[in-house]
Amino acid sequence: MKALSRANYGLLLAIIGMLIFSGTVPATRLAVKGLDAYFVTAARAAIAGVLAAIMLAALRRSWPSRAQLRLMLVCAVTLTIRALMLRNLHVAMQGDDPVSTAIR
């Protein structure tokens, strides 16, 4: 079997990521039927963070710098505020934004 080029490997990973992400909205809708929406939102974020840390450790990559962590925190906070505002305004998008879907 021939090894994949870097471009084809990246494309394969993108396709796998897209397939995994496509299942998050239906899974979230099922989860919020039995669990609190805020818990589901926090659990999704925690699981993503743990998986990212595992991948960084397994691949022996460097951890994010303080500046990068600050930017990630700003993104997380602004996305959370946005989702809460959309929920409160009753204009949340219809299924194409997992954060808004999770807290509806």
Query: Residue 48's domain spans which residues?
Result: 25-103
Q: Is 34 inside any structural domain?
A: yes
In a domain, 51, yes or no: yes
Q: Report the mean per-residue pLDDT for the chain.
A: 81
User: Could you tell me if residue 73 is inside a domain?
Assistant: yes
Residue 12 located in a structural domain:
no
Q: Is the pTM of this model over 0.75?
A: no
Domain total of the chain: 1
Is residue 96 included in any domain, yes or no? yes
Alpha-carbon Rg of the chain, whole angstroms? 17
68 band by pLDDT with thresholds 50, 70 and 90: very high
Q: Is residue 4 part of a domain?
A: no
Residue 19 lies in a domain: no
User: Does 46 reside within a domain?
Assistant: yes
Q: CB–CB of 31/103 below 8 Å? A: no
